[in-house]
A = this chain, B = another copy of it.
């Protein structure tokens, strides 16, 4: 079912500080910062030869990463995202296996403009896991 690792998302308190680490210290190739008001975050992608790191900064008062940043006050890895060929088939197979999908179970359009689902961390080794239609 799972294909490529699309990205690893790191929640950060301050994007300028995150860029100092990933662009200046680690020498990564970074995208422009993009506000994603529908998702309550601003994003920067670090382009690696084989995948991406997604830096997430809270946007607005009800950002979905606020709670994570309250528990992880220096930031940290927030989720990983795998590509799947058919997100509906993947979801149905996971649910048949007893796994839980976050939210109403219907794919939403994610930060990359493609349908995504988030799987319950308790069913996936304590790891918030996103599936994205390839």
Tell me whether A76 and B8 are in contact (CB under 8 A). Answer: no
With a cutoff of 8 Å between Cβ atoms, the chain B residues found around residue A55 in the complex are 125
With a cutoff of 8 Å between Cβ atoms, the chain B residues found around residue A34 in the complex are none
A to B CB contacts below 8 Å, 27 in the list: A1-B26, A1-B27, A2-B27, A2-B48, A4-B48, A4-B49, A4-B50, A5-B5, A5-B48, A5-B51, A8-B77, A12-B125, A21-B124, A21-B125, A22-B125, A24-B97, A26-B124, A48-B82, A50-B50, A55-B125, A74-B121, A74-B125, A75-B126, A75-B127, A76-B121, A76-B126, A77-B77
Taking beta carbons and an 8 Å cutoff, which residues of A are in contact with B?
Answer: 1-5, 8, 10, 12, 17-18, 21-22, 24-28, 48-51, 53, 55, 72-77, 80, 82, 94, 97, 99, 121-127
